[in-house]
């Protein structure tokens, strides 16, 4: 389920994720982050082009 790729996460953000994972009943913070990323990336499943993805990111407030 989880690969060997590592990412850096700000300490404060990691602490929030750890708390949310614990309260949410996740087995680990990695499982929680995996779930959150899958859910957010599902917004782009039907995008056919980079421009559609960019428009969706703008609509979701991720970019301006």
Model confidence, pTM: 0.71
* Rg of the chain (C-alpha set): 14
Structural contact between residues 29 and 17, judged by C-beta atoms closer than 8 angstroms: yes
Structural contact between residues 34 and 2, judged by C-beta atoms closer than 8 angstroms: yes
Residue 3 has pLDDT above 70, yes or no: no
The Cα 25–Cα 7 span in angstroms is 23
Environment class of 18 (CB within 10 Å of its CB; exposed 0-12, middle 13-18, buried 19+): middle
- What is the per-residue pLDDT for 41? 86
Model confidence at 9, in pLDDT bands (50, 70, 90)? Answer: very high
- What is the per-residue pLDDT for 2? 59
């Amino acid at each position: 389920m989880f690969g060997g790729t590592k990412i850096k996460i700000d300490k404060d953000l990691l602490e929030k994720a750890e708390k949310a994972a614990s309260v949410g009943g996740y087995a680990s913070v990695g499982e929680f982050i995996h779930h959150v990323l899958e859910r957010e990336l599902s917004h782009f499943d039907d995008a056919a082009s980079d421009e559609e993805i960019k428009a969706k990111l703008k609509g979701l407030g991720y970019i301006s």
